[in-house]
Chain A
């Protein structure tokens, strides 16, 4: 049970970051966090990070459906690859190839904004919450192979974005 002010503060921060990862907009992230917070309040907890993140995701899906249809676009069949032989989190070797390509946080923010919602969500859960691919799959309710495909595609898009920038 999270009751101490420090734990609540940590919960607010993590909830806001995840909401920002989904919306990529500060105002919408705050609105989303507040909506999810109210739903947790109504349910009287539990005040855990997993529960809050799940509430944020559910609220985001509801809002997106109400506004303009499905929030997470389906993967194209040709983009889904079989990554079932991969274990744990995606390989850091590919990530290392991007080292130094983002000179500052503004460039990284722009690149993340260029990603699609589901890609940003997966990237956030992997990098910041340090979830494994299996845990991301369980949390989002997707197959593990889909999560790994999303990770692969997100990294490729970030690489493409960085290449375009350097070329320009």
Chain B
């Protein structure tokens, strides 16, 4: 039978052992499970405030004026030298007024405020947003370009509100992993997709509002028609700011 002959012929064909082994190893090394799995349990999430208060990176430092490009150690050394001189000056004046202490250790002088210190907590604005409004983007998703202008409009409309606007790019596996790490650091990993065991299914082309403190999804937008309802929900959950007296 011809079919049987063709089957036997093709099934007798095999690639060279080296090629087969190389292909198998490459596929084993890049298992699809390693990019859609959730981040490791021992991943230490940083507070969003850490990101805001973090010192600028090197490229930003290079853009500062030359006078401001001194190393931090130089300022500290200058400050320490001034403090030592002040202590010696106080000790010298004290010694001139009285008996020098035994052992050469000057008595404690008056308290000197070396720094202004942090501002009172009441005047410091909160850097930890309760609300996170994020957009799920993927280059291959036809819905992503449609929700992008909506996300832009929301960003402009609520720019002065304590809402963090984030875009998660899930175009490919490396960016999916970055998105998950960022979501975990923001504490909204459970809200960015559907959890199915160890896997997370993330849907692109949507805008979602998440309440971090309540750990819940406030609302989700997938098309332009849902924008009024979405904005109403956002305005409803925004913390009410005390109005100042005119």
Residues of B within 8 A of A17 (CB): 10-11, 13
Q: Which residue of A lies closest to B12 (CB)?
A: A105
- Given A41-B30, A92-B1, A102-B5, the answer on whether A12 and B10 have CB atoms closer than 8 Å is no
For B15, list chain A residues within 8 Å (CB): 12-13, 16, 29-30, 33
* With known contacts A5-B28, A9-B20, A16-B14, A95–B1 Cβ distance under 8 A: yes
In the complex, the answer to whether B19 meets A1 with C-beta atoms within 8 Å is no
Cβ-defined contact, B10 with A20, below 8 A: yes
Question: B32 and A1: CB pair below 8 A?
Answer: yes
A112 proximal to B (CB < 8 A): yes
What are the interface flags for A7-41 relative to B under an 8 Å C-beta threshold, 1 for contact and 0 otherwise?
01101110011001100001001100110010001
Give the residues in chain B near A47, CB-CB below 8 Å. 27, 32
User: Could you say which of A33, A37, A124, A155 contacts B10, with CB atoms under 8 Å apart?
Assistant: A124
A40 nearest CB neighbor, chain B only: B27
Which residue from chain A places its CB closest to the CB of B3 in the assembled complex? Answer: A127
Is B7 touching A127 in the complex (CB atoms < 8 A)?
A: yes
Specify which chain B residues have a CB less than 8 angstroms from the CB of A112 in the assembled complex. 6, 9
Tell me whether B24 and A127 are in contact (CB under 8 A). no
Chain B residues with CB under 8 A of A136: none
Closest Cβ of chain B to A54, distance in Å, is 17
Interface residues of chain B: helix, strand, loop or mixed (majority): helix
Residues of A within 8 A of B31 (CB): 3
A21 in contact with B10 (CB, 8 Å): yes
Q: How far is B24's CA from A21's CA once the two chains are assembled, in angstroms?
A: 21
Return chain B residues, CB-CB under 8 Å to A126.
Answer: 3
Q: Which A residues from 133 to 159 make CB contacts under 8 A with B?
A: 155, 158
* Contacts A41-B26, A99-B1; A1 near B33 (Cβ below 8 A): yes
* B8 contacts the other chain (CB 8 A): yes
Contacts of B69 in A (CB 8 A): none
22 contacts between A and B (CB under 8 A): A1-B32, A3-B28, A3-B33, A9-B24, A12-B23, A12-B24, A17-B10, A26-B13, A41-B27, A44-B173, A46-B32, A47-B27, A95-B2, A96-B1, A99-B1, A105-B8, A124-B6, A124-B10, A126-B3, A127-B2, A127-B7, A128-B11
Query: Interface on B for A, CB 8 Å cutoff?
Result: 1-3, 5-16, 19-20, 23-24, 26-28, 30-33, 35, 172-173
